[in-house]
Amino acid sequence: MKILMFIVIFLLIGAFFIISENKLVMSKEENRKIFCEKYFLWLDRIFENTKGLTSYVVKMDWLPNE
């Protein structure tokens, strides 16, 4: 439950940052479209970075040399 709450809060904070950095007024339809584009690009970058980090961790040699 705590992990789910962390994910939701993280996604909401990301959405608020996108809105504030781009000075979007969410009552306008064109701004909602801009927000959706930027938000999904942000999510895509998070997914790609997580995928890259995971592949790096998996490729590491975790066993001792002895």
Torsion of CA 7, 12, 13, 17, to 10 degrees: 140
Q: Give the single-character DSSP code of 63.
A: S
Q: What pLDDT is attached to residue 64?
A: 83
**pTM (predicted TM-score):** 0.78
In whole angstroms, what is the distance from residue 41 CA to residue 5 CA?
22
Q: What pLDDT is attached to residue 21?
A: 95
Q: What pLDDT is attached to residue 39?
A: 97
Please name which of 37, 47, 52, 29 lies closest in space to residue 15, comparing C-alpha atoms. Answer: 37
Q: What pLDDT is attached to residue 65?
A: 81
End-to-end distance of the chain based on CA atoms, in angstroms?
40
Q: What pLDDT is attached to residue 10?
A: 95
40-60 pLDDT tens trace: 999 999 999 999 999 999 988
